[in-house]
Chains A and B, each alone.
Chain A
C-alpha cells in the first residue's frame, strides 16, 4: 500500500519532527510511504484570501504529485479539508478535472482518521504518562469529523485525556486571520489558554500545527514556559531517533 505523505507547508518549515513522527507512525503500521519532494502547499492561504487562481494551480500540482499513491495522508485537518472538501466541491466543481479531484479526495485522509479508521491500528509506539488536554481544530472537527481518532491514539500511548472546557472552540488561528486581525485572534487564543490551564493537564495536544503555534505563542507570551504543546503524532510516535538519526541537531526536539 503506497501512502503519499503530504507533510504540509507549516510542518515542513517549522516542525519537521511532526513530519517524521507521521512517517514513523505510517511505516510502523506497515505502509510504504512516499514523499514527493516537489510538494509545497495545499493552497489554503491563498484560497482563504480570495486568490482562487493560485489555489487552483496548487491543487493541480498536488493532484499530479500524488497521482501514483493509493492514499494521501497529512498530519493536519485543515490541509486535508482543503484537499478533500474544497478542491472537488468548490475549486473544481463543474470543471473537467472534477472527477480527478473527487478521486483524490476519496483517497486523502487526516493522519489520525487514517490510522484509526483505515488502518485500524490497535497500538502505537509512543509512551506517555500523565494527562493531556486536547484541542479540536476546526477543519478536522467540522469538515472531516475528526474527534475521537486522535484521542484513541493518545490513549494507546498511555495518556489520560483531561478535557478542557470549550475544547471545540476555535483557538483564533485562522491562517492569515491571525495576522490581519491579530487583536481578536489573540483574545481567542487567550480564552483557549485559560481553558487549557483550568484543565489541569500539563500538555496540550492538537492535530494542526497552525493552532499549536498560536496556542504555544500565547502561552509563552503569558509567561507559561512549562506547558508542553504537542502534535498527537509526536506523542503517538514516541522516540524518533531510530528514524531520522544524527543529522538532526540535538535541540530540535525541545520546542515544546
Chain B
C-alpha cells in the first residue's frame, strides 16, 4: 500500500466532511467499545492476565534472535521452509518465486496485514498470479480496489449499500441488501476459489518457537480453508510475532478476541505445524514461512521496543477519539489509530508521517485498553521528541514553542508577559467576552471561540491582596 501519511491533515479533513463515512463510523463505534467492555468485565482477573501477557511478550523480545532461531529449527524439522525478508520487496520476491516455480495460477488469501504492508497482491498480479482475498471484508475491498481502514474489520468504513453495489458489479446477480443474504452470495462466489487455488497465503497471529507452529485466528473459517486445501501454504508474518510456547498462546488468546470484538474466543483457531503427513487426506505438500523485518527491528533494543508487544487486536483504534472521527484511511497506510501512529513513522520514516504522532490528545484510552499494556501515548511522545530534536515540525509551531520555553523559565519575564497577555486577551474579548478569531491560534478559532481571560492574572491579584493584608 502506498504511503499517504504525509497528507494526514488534509485527508482527515476530507473524512470529517464525508457524511457517508461519518454515518458508517458511528454505527460501528458502539459495537466494538461496548462489546469489549462487557467481555472484559466477565473476567475478574483481567489485569493479571494482561500483566502476564505483557511480560511474556517482553521476554521473547529480549531474546528475539534466539526465539526466532528456535522457531526456525522446529518449523524446519516439521517440513516447513523458513525464509527471511529484510524488506517489503524481498518478501514479495520470495513468494512470487515460490509461486512461479510451482506453476501457481491462483492464490487464495486470508487476511494478512503484513501482505498489505508489502503490497503483495500487486506483485502477484504483476507476475500473472491471481490473488483472491477470502476474508469477507478484504474481499469487499479487493472488489472496491481500496486498502483496509481497520486491522480487524477492514471494511468497517463501508455501508451495506456500498457493498451491495460492489456485489452487483462483481457477481452480476440481483442486488441484495439483506446482510445474511449478501454474506451467502459472497460465500458461494468464493467456494470454488477455495477448492481450485494452487496456493494459500495466510498471515500468522503468532508463531510458536517450541513447536515451529504458525497460527491464524478467524471467525469466518476462510483461513482454515486457505491453510488446508491448496497444495502450497505460504505464511507471511513479522519477525516480532514469535512467542515461546503453546501455553503462552493460551494466555494471549484470552485477550485477543475479547479486546478486538468482545468475543470470549474466535470461532476458529488453526495451529499448523509443517506439511501434510503420510496418509493425511488434507493439508499442503509444501509449507513456506516468510519472516518479514521491513522496519520491525528498528524498535528492538530501543526505548520504543514495547511497541513490538502488539498483538494487533485493534482495541486502541476502536477507542481512539481521533480514529472514531476520521476513520482509518486518513492515516494513510496499513496501520491506523494509535498503534499506526507509532508503527507508520517508524517503518516508513518520520518525515513521511510527521502528523501521526501528533494526532492524539493523549487522552490515554488506548493505553488503558491495550491488552499487552503498550504505553502508546508515551511512545507517540517519544516520536514527538525525535521530531523536536530533528527540527521536523513547521516553524509556525517551533517559534511559539521556543518563545514559551524561554519565558516559562524566567519568572519575572513570565509575570510581565502574562500580565499583559491577560489584559490584551480581555480587551480582545469585547462585550461578549469571546475572542472570535486570533491569528496564530486559528486552528482553534476556526471552529471555536476563545473565552476571554478575566483581565488580571492570579499572580497579580494574589500578590496585591497579600500586600494589603
Contact = CB atoms under 8 A, between A and B. Distances in A.
Establish whether A and B are touching in the complex (CB under 8 Å): yes
Contacts of B404: 45-46
Q: Which of A47, A58, A220 has the most CB of B within 10 A?
A: A220
Contact of B447 (A12, A138, A143, A183): A183
Contact of A49 (B384, B418, B442): B384
Contacts of B462: 16, 19, 23, 35, 37
B465 interface: yes
Contacts of B448: 186, 189, 214, 217-218, 220-221
A49 B399 CA distance: 12
B421 A13 contact: yes
11 contacts: A14-B452, A16-B456, A23-B462, A39-B411, A50-B383, A175-B362, A177-B360, A179-B444, A217-B449, A249-B455, A252-B456
B181 interface: no
Given A181-B355, A187-B16, A189-B447, A252 B454 contact: yes
B454 A184 contact: no
Contact of A16 (B409, B447, B454): B454
Q: Which of B325, B404, B409, B447 has the most CB of A within 10 A?
A: B447
A104 B251 CA distance: 38
B362 to A, nearest CB: 6
Contacts of B449: 216-217, 220-221
Contacts of A58: 408-409
B100 interface: no
B63 interface: no
B338 to A, nearest CB: 12
Interface string B15-53: 010000000000000000000000000000000000000
Nearest to A137: B363
Interface stretch (A110-118, A153-161, A240-248): A240-248
Given A178-B443, A184-B325, A216 B408 contact: no
Contacts, number: 216
Q: Interface residues of A: mostly helix, strand, loop or mixed?
A: helix
Interface of B: 9, 12-13, 16, 321-322, 325-326, 355, 358-365, 367-368, 378, 381, 383-389, 393, 397, 401, 404-405, 407-409, 411, 414-415, 418, 421-422, 425, 432-434, 441-444, 446-459, 461-465, 468
Interface in A211-253: 213-214, 216-218, 220-221, 225, 229, 244-245, 247-249, 251-252
A182 B325 contact: no
B450 A183 contact: no
B321 A170 contact: yes
B453 A248 contact: no
A138 B361 contact: yes
B418 A174 contact: no
Nearest to B450: A217
Contacts of B359: 177, 181, 184
Nearest to A173: B361
A52 B358 CA distance: 15
B42 to A, nearest CB: 21
Q: Interface residues of B: mostly helix, strand, loop or mixed?
A: helix
A46 B397 CA distance: 11
A52 to B, nearest CB: 5
A194 B355 CA distance: 28
Contact of B458 (A20, A48, A139): A20
A57 B414 CA distance: 15
A175 B411 CA distance: 22
Contacts of B454: 14-17, 252, 255
Contacts of B321: 169-170, 172, 188
Contact of B386 (A19, A20, A50, A244): A50
B444 A13 contact: no
Nearest to B390: A50
Given A12-B458, A58-B408, A213-B451, A48 B433 contact: no
Q: Which of B9, B388, B461 has the most CB of A within 10 A?
A: B461
Nearest to A245: B465
Nearest to B451: A216
A174 B387 CA distance: 18
Contacts of B361: 138, 170, 172-175, 177, 185, 188
A126 to B, nearest CB: 19
Nearest to B454: A252
A54 interface: yes
Contacts of B455: 249, 252
B222 to A, nearest CB: 35
Q: Which of B13, B408, B434 has the most CB of A within 10 A?
A: B408
A31 B457 CA distance: 23
